[in-house]
């Protein structure tokens, strides 16, 4: 079931205008949210992040945060899904040909409730291979990646490089050569028992799952910090894993042909994953 501007309809009846600036120019924002056992995971945090992004790009969402939360919950209820994925999209709306947002009188709100599986199940036990992409991450002084915008071409080009290399993901560096994130996931490494992830000011999304893992690590007594990660640090890490709404937590066991640790998901990764599973149960 799909919510479009106040109506909940089957996906066969869900349409947007070809003049919508989200389609024409990628002018809009979105959130990916999970449903676990009938509960929407950290909905308020996702809604807060959506409205923060809207403020940055001067997009006036036609619903209050409380109304948006209700719209999400109503759409989930209409779908009947106990477990699934929500894609919440706000576009600039229908306008004229031309990039000016002034021609778009009202933003459009779309809420999709469906299923998602980004990685085969076996990779959660044995880990995945990744490469570093030649495509650099958009810089924070042009469009801060903390705005979860509809324009994902930067990520898509890096994803294509990963696929051409026979990998499922690619690490994206900033213009100075520091790790930011992957094409659709945040990244963590473990070095001498300490959990490290790039700061959002390097060009990483302030991921909700990323926040959750940091909180779990702090609660569990695992040292954790945000810090710059160079390729040297990736290549010499004891453990590595990715986090994301769709991916949840998935280990990385090879980076650019270099084995991570002993080639198997490590003890910190496994411990955090078990804590995460309890969190979403």
Active site residues per annotation: 148
CA 11 to centroid of chain Cα atoms = 23
> DSSP labels for 11-43?
GGG----TTBHHHHH--EEEEEEEEETTEETTH
- Rounded Cα–Cα distance for residues 260 and 219 (Å): 26
| Interatomic CA distance for residues 190 and 196, integer angstroms | 6
Which 8-state DSSP code applies to residue 211?
Answer: H
Q: Whole-angstrom Cα distance, residue 239 to residue 262?
A: 9
Q: How far is CA 238 from the centre of its chain?
A: 24
């Amino acid at each position: 079931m799909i919510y479009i501007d106040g109506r909940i309809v089957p996906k066969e009846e869900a349409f947007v205008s070809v003049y919508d600036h989200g389609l024409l120019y990628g002018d809009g924002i979105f959130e990916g949210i999970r449903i676990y056992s009938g509960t929407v995971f950290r909905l308020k945090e996702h809604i807060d992040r959506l409205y923060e992004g809207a403020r940055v790009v001067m997009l006036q969402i036609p619903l209050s945060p409380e109304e948006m939360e209700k719209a999400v919950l109503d759409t989930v209820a209409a779908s009947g899904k106990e477990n699934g994925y929500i894609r919440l999209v706000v576009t600039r709306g229908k306008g004229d040909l031309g990039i000016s947002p002034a021609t778009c009188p009202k933003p459009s709100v779309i809420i999709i409730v469906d299923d998602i599986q980004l990685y085969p199940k076996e990779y959660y036990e044995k880990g995945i291979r990744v490469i570093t992409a030649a495509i650099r991450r958009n810089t924070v002084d042009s469009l801060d990646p903390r705005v979860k915008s509809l324009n994902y071409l930067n990520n898509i080009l890096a994803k294509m490089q990963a696929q051409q290399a026979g990998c499922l993901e690619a690490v994206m560096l900033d213009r100075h050569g520091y790790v930011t994130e992957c094409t659709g996931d945040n990244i963590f490494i473990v070095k001498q028992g300490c959990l490290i992830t790039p700061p959002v000011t390097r060009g990483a999304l302030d991921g909700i799952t990323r926040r959750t893992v940091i909180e779990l690590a702090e609660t569990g007594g695992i040292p954790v910090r945000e810090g710059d990660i160079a390729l040297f640090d990736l290549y010499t890490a004891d453990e590595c894993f990715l986090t994301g709404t769709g991916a949840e937590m998935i280990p990385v066991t090879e980076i650019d042909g270099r084995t991570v640790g002993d080639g198997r998901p490590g003890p910190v990764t496994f411990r955090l994953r078990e804590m995460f599973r309890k969190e979403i149960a």
